[in-house]
Amino acid sequence: MNWQLKSFAELSITELYDIIQRREQVFVVEQTCPYLDADGSDVNALHLWADSDTETVVAYARIFLGEGSDGYSRIGRVLTAQSVRRLGLGRELMQRALDVCHTYTPQLPIRLGAQVYLRAFYESFGFVAISEEYLEDDIPHIDMERQP
């Protein structure tokens, strides 16, 4: 796997296209969840992804480092391509995303909005639920946080 971490300004047009295409494949097509993925937040995020020898963006996460009054960093849009699921790449992706947060904002907690069926996965990284379940785009979610 070839791992990349870039700010929005550092992304090439091709990299941005590949990222958006994969996010739409997973979140819009696979999960049959029509929503506006290009939400205007990408410009403020770090983009972490892996390319394999045969596919682009087989794992991806969007990271917001805590700034201003937020008081926490945030990981979102976490995905793995269907072709690489159950190979441990999701665990590697999450560990790398956590490492990025700890490198740049070691004093801040990290939050994410998890699909409920993945709660145990995120708990295995030290996240705990901080909200009740709620629907986001008709999919049950729960907010979770990991302390520094």
CA 52 vs CA 46, 77, 83: distances in Å: 20, 19, 11
Mean pLDDT by 10 residues, the chain (148 residues): 97 97 94 85 96 95 83 95 94 98 95 96 98 92 96
pLDDT the model gives residue 35: 80
pTM: 0.93
66 in Cβ contact with 24 (< 8 Å):
no
pLDDT the model gives residue 66: 87
Taking the alpha carbons of 27, 43, 111, 136 in that order, is the dihedral positive or negative?
negative
Q: Which residue has the tokens 């295995």?
A: 124
pLDDT the model gives residue 38: 86
**Residue 48 and residue 66: Cα distance in Å, rounded?**
16
